């Protein structure tokens, strides 16, 4: 009962603060520029966790996962002077530093048929290149809500251009309920962004996700909640709340600067009062809750 009273006080104090699936799950490769960005929502989606080859004129994946997914895909052009291996090595380092589970990793001819990767698996003809200069990695963030999957493929085309393709996807059937008081169990998690520094400008969100946030925020049948968690080992509750509020305010400013009407959002900073599963000390989550009765 005492903890419930404390939580009510926390929510009441934080209620006036308005603020903020990857922001991306890892930082963007610094030597690349975005060429394409699209949302994805598909049933029985194939996730390759093995080599891709052509057998008897049919594309075969040695090992794969299947699930209904939602998420975002990105295609980047890598700057001259940087290789497909440079790009995938950066992704690999970022994934491992965030304790992602590596499901599969291949390079060169070990990945299989490059045409099948480009035109069948990812359906992006710009990715078609030489088999000796291709790389792929599939990973899963089991410690994050919804256990998002991250896929990355890099390749050098015959004309020398290097492209990096990324997918951030989640199980579309995962309706994980929030762990924060004041938000009902019917809320759907849209995005979870790790926060290392509450004042950092790294809390970026993709254009597709920004558009979806604005659309849902403007829908009278939907309430969007933005929840900020933060807590370092040994940190006082007051300091954790201060960090949580700063991250919240920081993200809401970034949303507003990107054109999102933040007055339509409901937000709360909970500091260390709600447990998070992350390798980072903080987390910003956005939940969508239907108001339909």
Q: Do the Cβ atoms of 63 and 165 come closer than 8 Å?
A: no
Q: Do the Cβ atoms of 135 and 111 come closer than 8 Å?
A: yes
The phi, psi pair for 187, rounded to 5°, reads: -70, 145
Six-digit token pair at 184? 């009902």
- Model pLDDT, residue 202: 52
Six-digit token pair at 40? 């994805």
User: Who's near 287: CB < 8 A, 6+ residues apart?
Assistant: 178, 183, 187, 188, 189, 190, 224, 225, 227
Q: Do the Cβ atoms of 183 and 223 come closer than 8 Å?
A: no
Query: What's the CA angle centered on 239, arms 235 and 244, to 5 degrees?
Result: 110
- pTM value surpassing 0.85: no
User: Who's near 128: CB < 8 A, 6+ residues apart?
Assistant: 114, 115, 118, 119, 155, 157
Neighbour count for residue 93 (Cβ, 10 Å) = 11
Q: Can you list the domains of the chain with their CATH numbers?
A: 2-23+175-290 (3.30.1330.60), 32-171 (no CATH)
- Model pLDDT, residue 4: 39
Helical axes 2-14 vs 237-257, angle rounded to 10°: 30
* Residues of the chain where predicted confidence (pLDDT) is lower than 70: 1-24, 143-145, 174-187, 201-206, 208, 273-279, 292-293
For the chain, where are the E strands, in sequence order? 32-48, 52-55, 58-61, 64-78, 101-107, 134-140, 149-156, 162-171, 188-195, 222-230, 266-271, 282-290
> How large is the C-alpha radius of gyration of the chain?
20
pLDDT in tens, 84-127: 999 999 999 989 887 889 999 999 999 999 999 999 999 999 99
Separation of alpha carbons 83 and 29, rounded Å = 12
pLDDT in tens, 214-252: 888 888 888 888 888 888 777 787 888 888 888 888 888
Separation of alpha carbons 4 and 55, rounded Å = 61
């Amino acid at each position: 009962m005492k903890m419930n009273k404390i939580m009510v006080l926390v929510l009441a104090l934080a209620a006036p603060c308005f603020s903020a699936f990857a922001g991306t799950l890892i930082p963007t490769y610094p030597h690349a520029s975005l060429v394409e960005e699209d949302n994805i929502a598909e049933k029985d989606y194939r996730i390759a966790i093995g080599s891709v080859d052509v057998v008897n004129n049919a594309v075969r994946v040695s090992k794969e996962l299947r699930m209904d997914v939602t998420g975002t895909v990105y295609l980047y052009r890598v700057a001259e002077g940087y290789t497909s291996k440079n790009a995938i090595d950066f992704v690999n380092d970022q994934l491992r530093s965030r304790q992602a589970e590596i499901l599969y990793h291949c390079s060169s001819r070990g990945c299989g048929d490059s045409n099948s990767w480009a035109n069948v698996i990812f359906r992006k003809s710009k990715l078609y290149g030489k088999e000796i200069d291709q790389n792929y990695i599939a990973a899963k963030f089991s410690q994050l809500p919804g256990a998002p999957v991250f896929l990355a493929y890099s390749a050098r085309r015959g004309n020398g251009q290097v492209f990096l393709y990324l997918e951030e996807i989640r199980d579309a059937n995962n309706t994980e309920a929030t762990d924060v008081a004041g938000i009902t169990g019917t809320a759907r998690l849209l995005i979870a962004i790790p926060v290392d520094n509450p004042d950092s400008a790294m809390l970026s969100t993709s254009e597709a996700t920004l558009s979806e946030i604005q659309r849902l925020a403007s829908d009278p049948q939907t309430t969007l909640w933005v929840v900020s968690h933060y807590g370092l080992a040994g940190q006082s509750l007051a300091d954790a709340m201060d960090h949580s509020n700063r991250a919240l305010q920081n993200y809401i400013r970034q949303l507003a600067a990107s054109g999102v009407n933040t007055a339509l959002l409901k937000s709360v900073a909970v500091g260390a009062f709600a447990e998070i599963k992350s390798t980072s000390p903080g987390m910003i989550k956005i939940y969508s809750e239907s108001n339909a009765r």
